[in-house]
Protein backbone atom coordinates (compact mmCIF):
# COMPACT_ATOMS: atom_id res chain seq x y z
CA UNK A 1 0.00 0.00 0.00
CA UNK A 2 2.85 2.39 0.78
CA UNK A 3 4.39 1.53 -2.58
CA UNK A 4 1.18 2.50 -4.37
CA UNK A 5 0.93 5.79 -2.48
CA UNK A 6 4.53 6.54 -3.50
CA UNK A 7 3.54 5.98 -7.13
CA UNK A 8 1.11 8.85 -6.92
CA UNK A 9 3.86 11.10 -5.55
CA UNK A 10 6.35 10.38 -8.33
CA UNK A 11 7.86 7.14 -7.02
CA UNK A 12 8.02 5.73 -10.55
CA UNK A 13 10.04 8.72 -11.75
CA UNK A 14 12.49 8.33 -8.86
CA UNK A 15 12.93 4.62 -9.61
CA UNK A 16 13.55 5.31 -13.30
CA UNK A 17 16.03 8.07 -12.41
CA UNK A 18 18.02 5.84 -10.05
CA UNK A 19 18.18 3.10 -12.70
CA UNK A 20 19.25 5.65 -15.35
CA UNK A 21 22.02 6.96 -13.09
CA UNK A 22 23.65 3.55 -13.06
CA UNK A 23 22.41 2.06 -9.82
CA UNK A 24 22.84 -1.68 -10.09
CA UNK A 25 19.51 -3.23 -11.00
CA UNK A 26 18.55 -6.62 -9.66
CA UNK A 27 15.91 -8.94 -11.11
CA UNK A 28 13.69 -8.12 -8.15
CA UNK A 29 14.19 -4.39 -8.78
CA UNK A 30 13.30 -4.71 -12.45
CA UNK A 31 10.25 -6.81 -11.60
CA UNK A 32 9.28 -4.20 -9.02
CA UNK A 33 9.70 -1.46 -11.63
CA UNK A 34 7.45 -3.38 -14.02
CA UNK A 35 4.85 -3.80 -11.32
CA UNK A 36 5.13 -0.12 -10.42
CA UNK A 37 4.56 0.91 -14.02
CA UNK A 38 1.53 -1.35 -14.34
CA UNK A 39 0.06 -0.09 -11.06
CA UNK A 40 0.73 3.54 -11.96
CA UNK A 41 -0.88 3.24 -15.39
CA UNK A 42 -3.86 1.35 -13.91
CA UNK A 43 -4.32 3.98 -11.18
CA UNK A 44 -4.10 6.80 -13.74
CA UNK A 45 -6.62 5.07 -16.02
CA UNK A 46 -8.98 4.42 -13.11
CA UNK A 47 -8.87 8.06 -12.01
CA UNK A 48 -9.57 9.31 -15.54
CA UNK A 49 -12.38 6.88 -16.32
CA UNK A 50 -14.07 6.81 -12.91
CA UNK A 51 -17.42 8.60 -12.72
CA UNK A 52 -17.68 11.50 -10.32
CA UNK A 53 -18.96 10.45 -6.91
CA UNK A 54 -20.10 12.35 -3.88
CA UNK A 55 -17.63 12.38 -0.96
CA UNK A 56 -20.23 11.13 1.55
CA UNK A 57 -20.98 7.91 -0.38
CA UNK A 58 -18.51 5.05 0.09
CA UNK A 59 -16.75 3.76 -3.02
CA UNK A 60 -17.83 0.18 -2.22
CA UNK A 61 -19.52 -1.83 0.50
CA UNK A 62 -18.18 -5.11 1.84
CA UNK A 63 -20.63 -7.70 3.18
CA UNK A 64 -19.76 -10.75 5.26
CA UNK A 65 -21.40 -13.81 3.65
CA UNK A 66 -20.82 -16.06 6.67
CA UNK A 67 -23.36 -14.33 8.86
CA UNK A 68 -23.71 -14.97 12.58
CA UNK A 69 -24.24 -18.52 13.82
CA UNK A 70 -27.26 -19.07 16.07
CA UNK A 71 -26.57 -19.83 19.74
CA UNK A 72 -26.03 -23.49 20.56
CA UNK A 73 -27.97 -25.21 23.31
CA UNK A 74 -25.74 -27.63 25.16
CA UNK A 75 -27.12 -31.07 25.92
CA UNK A 76 -25.80 -33.38 28.57
CA UNK A 77 -24.34 -36.71 27.55
CA UNK A 78 -26.22 -39.92 28.14
CA UNK A 79 -25.16 -41.85 31.22
CA UNK A 80 -22.78 -44.72 30.50
CA UNK A 81 -24.17 -48.19 31.00
CA UNK A 82 -22.49 -50.25 33.71
CA UNK A 83 -21.90 -53.03 31.17
CA UNK A 84 -22.41 -53.68 27.46
CA UNK A 85 -23.52 -57.27 28.11
CA UNK A 86 -26.87 -57.89 26.46
CA UNK A 87 -26.78 -54.53 24.64
CA UNK A 88 -26.84 -53.90 20.88
CA UNK A 89 -24.07 -51.65 19.58
CA UNK A 90 -24.62 -50.11 16.16
CA UNK A 91 -21.43 -49.48 14.21
CA UNK A 92 -22.43 -46.67 11.85
CA UNK A 93 -20.38 -45.80 8.78
CA UNK A 94 -20.72 -42.36 7.14
CA UNK A 95 -18.62 -43.57 4.15
CA UNK A 96 -15.54 -41.55 5.10
CA UNK A 97 -12.34 -43.06 3.67
CA UNK A 98 -11.89 -46.47 5.27
CA UNK A 99 -14.37 -45.90 8.10
CA UNK A 100 -16.41 -48.95 7.16
CA UNK A 101 -13.32 -51.18 7.15
CA UNK A 102 -12.38 -49.98 10.65
CA UNK A 103 -15.91 -50.60 11.96
CA UNK A 104 -16.05 -54.10 10.46
CA UNK A 105 -12.75 -54.92 12.17
CA UNK A 106 -14.21 -53.58 15.42
CA UNK A 107 -17.23 -55.81 14.89
CA UNK A 108 -14.96 -58.88 14.49
CA UNK A 109 -12.97 -57.92 17.59
CA UNK A 110 -16.13 -57.42 19.65
CA UNK A 111 -17.53 -60.78 18.50
CA UNK A 112 -14.32 -62.51 19.67
CA UNK A 113 -13.71 -60.54 22.90
CA UNK A 114 -17.25 -59.53 23.94
CA UNK A 115 -19.59 -62.39 22.93
CA UNK A 116 -22.49 -61.10 25.07
CA UNK A 117 -22.64 -57.87 23.02
CA UNK A 118 -24.64 -57.85 19.80
CA UNK A 119 -23.25 -55.64 17.01
CA UNK A 120 -25.01 -54.29 13.94
CA UNK A 121 -23.06 -52.66 11.10
CA UNK A 122 -24.98 -49.95 9.22
CA UNK A 123 -24.13 -47.39 6.54
CA UNK A 124 -25.80 -44.07 7.27
CA UNK A 125 -27.73 -42.44 4.44
CA UNK A 126 -26.34 -39.11 3.28
CA UNK A 127 -23.20 -37.43 4.54
CA UNK A 128 -22.02 -36.84 8.08
CA UNK A 129 -24.12 -33.72 8.58
CA UNK A 130 -27.38 -35.07 7.15
CA UNK A 131 -30.05 -36.74 9.22
CA UNK A 132 -31.07 -40.40 8.90
CA UNK A 133 -34.32 -40.62 10.92
CA UNK A 134 -34.99 -44.26 9.98
CA UNK A 135 -31.64 -45.41 11.37
CA UNK A 136 -32.07 -43.36 14.56
CA UNK A 137 -35.55 -44.90 15.10
CA UNK A 138 -34.12 -48.39 14.59
CA UNK A 139 -31.39 -47.76 17.18
CA UNK A 140 -33.85 -46.26 19.67
CA UNK A 141 -36.35 -49.12 19.18
CA UNK A 142 -33.87 -51.65 20.60
CA UNK A 143 -32.41 -49.20 23.16
CA UNK A 144 -29.14 -49.53 21.28
CA UNK A 145 -25.83 -47.74 21.50
CA UNK A 146 -23.91 -46.29 18.57
CA UNK A 147 -20.30 -45.88 17.46
CA UNK A 148 -20.02 -43.65 14.39
CA UNK A 149 -16.88 -43.56 12.23
CA UNK A 150 -16.65 -39.90 11.32
CA UNK A 151 -13.02 -39.54 10.22
CA UNK A 152 -10.79 -36.48 10.48
DSSP-assigned states of every residue in 73-138: PP-PPPPPPS--TT-EEEEEE---TTHHHHHHHHHHHHHHH-TTSEEEEEEPSS-TTS--HHHHHH
- Residue 8 scores a pLDDT above 50: no
Model confidence pLDDT, tens digit, residues 108-130: 999 999 999 999 999 999 877 88
Helix (H, G, I), strand (E, B) or coil at 149: strand
Rounded to the nearest integer, the mean pLDDT of the chain is 78
pLDDT for the residue numbered 97: 84
pTM value is: 0.51
Q: Give the count of alpha carbons within 13 A of 101, CB side only.
A: 4
- Residue 133 scores a pLDDT above 70: yes
Q: Which pLDDT band, with edges at 50, 70 and 90, does 88 fall under?
A: very high
Rounded Cα distance, 62 and 23, in Å: 43
- Residue 23 scores a pLDDT above 50: yes
Higher pLDDT, 37 or 90: 90
The residues spanned by each domain of the chain are 2-49, 88-149
Amino acid sequence: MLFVSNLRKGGVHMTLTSLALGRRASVRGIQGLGLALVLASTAAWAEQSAPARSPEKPLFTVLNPTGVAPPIQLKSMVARPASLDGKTVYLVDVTFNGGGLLLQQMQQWMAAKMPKVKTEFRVKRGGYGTDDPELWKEIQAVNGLMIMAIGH
